[in-house]
Amino acid sequence: MTVPIGAYLALGALLFVLGIAGVLLRRSALVVFMSIELMLNAVNLTFVAFARQLGRLEGQVAVFFVLVVAAVEVVVGLAIIIAIFRTRSTVDLDDVDLLRG
Amino acid sequence: MELVIFALAAVGAVAGGVGIIASRSPVRSALSLLLVLGCLAALSLLLSAQFIAALQIIIYAGAIVILFLFVVMLLHAHSGETAPNRLGWLTPAGIVLGAILLAGLLGTVRDGGGVASIGAEFGTAEAVGQTLFTTFMLPFEAASVLLLIGIIAAVIIGRPEPASPAPTGTPRQVVEPSRR
């Protein structure tokens, strides 16, 4: 184990912040969605790193469930994006403001 | 050797992450996501999580990224950003907030404690499956129900609109039964 666990955790933090930046900066719904996937993967890396450090498999099982939830989330989210595109002909998040007060 | 693989995978992952949020075309973003997933699978292998690495490749790279590419194809020319940004102040605010969050997160990273010694079977499909089907049996079944709900939701949301909507002036009671 030449690479310290902290290096993996730092990489996970960096990827998570990149995902946050994508959600905040981009307006294409698809890219925002990909950024959310990036955040989920950063957390997965953290889970796996801690599972390795503690020598317990529960962290890897948690990653398994994150994968399941991510798959469901992508399917439903992309269906919603396509539905929005069909009715409003845009995937720009600034244009989808029907709920604006 | 391990350090070299880690460095390569880490650089690839960060480059892919930047590529996701920086590239103009959604196809390049999706391919950057693929790069990130491949690098993270390599990192999982380094952390002796072979089963997770395989799942990462099969589910994420094999299914989710392909799904993204299909949707990009369906929306093709319209999926990029065209109109000028109405919330221009959001960009510097996002960068500053992201930097603050990164500093906060990195401040919590410590190399506390040693790394546990593990056997050769740690992280194999057999070991993870053993845990999954004993300790986590109930969450596993709940996950299958969740997947089923997701399938049903996607079918209902993705169903095309009825070809001829109810004519205007029809009493609402008549429209009700045919509502989805």
| CATH number of the CATH domain containing B12 | 1.20.120.1200
CATH architecture of structural domain A5-90:
Orthogonal Bundle (1.10)
Residues B46, B13: contact at Cβ < 8 Å?
no
pLDDT at B90 over 80: no
Last residue of a domain, which of B77, B106, B140? B77
**pLDDT score for B120:** 77
Contact A78 B97 (CB under 8 A): no
Average pLDDT for A6-35:
90
**Phi and psi angles of residue B135, each rounded to the nearest 5 degrees, phi first:** -65, -40
Last residue of a domain, which of B77, B108, B137? B77
Last residue of a domain, which of B35, B61, B77? B77
Structural domain harbouring B150: 127-159
Name every chain B residue with its beta carbon within 8 A of the beta carbon of A48: 43-44, 47, 49, 52
Residues B85, A51: contact at Cβ < 8 Å?
no
Percent of chain B with pLDDT over 70: 81
Residue B122 lies in a domain: no
Strand partners of residue A28:
A92
Residue B88 lies in a domain: no
Between B117 and B180, name the one with better pLDDT.
Answer: B117
Name every chain A residue with its beta carbon within 8 A of the beta carbon of B98: 17, 20-21, 24
Q: Residue A93 burial by CB count (10 A; 0-12/13-18/19+): exposed, middle or buried?
A: middle
**pLDDT score for B82:** 57
Residue B73 lies in a domain: yes
Instruction: Supply the mean pLDDT for chain B.
Output: 83
pLDDT digits (tens, 9 = 90+) for A6-15: 889 999 999 9
Residues in contact with B163: Cβ distance below 8 Å, sequence separation at least 6, in sequence order: none
pLDDT digits (tens, 9 = 90+) for B14-61: 999 999 988 888 899 999 999 999 999 999 999 888 999 999 999 988
pLDDT at B100 over 70: yes
**pLDDT score for B164:** 58
Q: How far, in Å, CA of B95 to CA of B89, rounded?
A: 11
* Chain A interface disruption, residue of B1, B5, B40, B78, most A CBs within 10 A: B40
User: How many domains does the structure of chain B reveal?
Assistant: 2
Smallest Cβ–Cβ distance between B143 and the set A22, A65, A86 belongs to A65
**pLDDT score for A35:** 94
Q: Name which of A35-49, B3-17, B147-161 the model is least confident about.
A: B147-161
Nearest to B13 by CA among A37, A42, A62: A42
| B131 and B73 within one domain | no
pLDDT digits (tens, 9 = 90+) for A55-79: 888 899 999 999 999 999 999 999 9
| ipTM entry | 0.90
Radius of gyration of chain B (CA): 23
* Chain A interface disruption, residue of B4, B47, B95, most A CBs within 10 A: B47
Smallest Cβ–Cβ distance between A24 and the set B14, B90, B147 belongs to B90
Angle at the Cα of A14 from the Cα atoms of B45 and B43, rounded to 5 degrees: 5
Minimum distance, in Å, between the CA of residue B167 and any CA atom of chain A: 19
Q: Which position has the token pair 């999954």? A: B132
Residue B70 lies in a domain: yes
First-to-final CA distance of chain A: 55
pLDDT at A26 over 60: yes
> What's this model's pTM, rounded to 2 decimal places?
0.85
Residue B141 lies in a domain: yes
Domain map of chain A by residue range?
5-90
Residues B123, B48: contact at Cβ < 8 Å?
yes
Residue B148 lies in a domain: yes
Nearest to A40 by CA among B36, B106, B115, B85: B36
Q: How far, in Å, CA of B161 to CA of A83, rounded?
A: 9
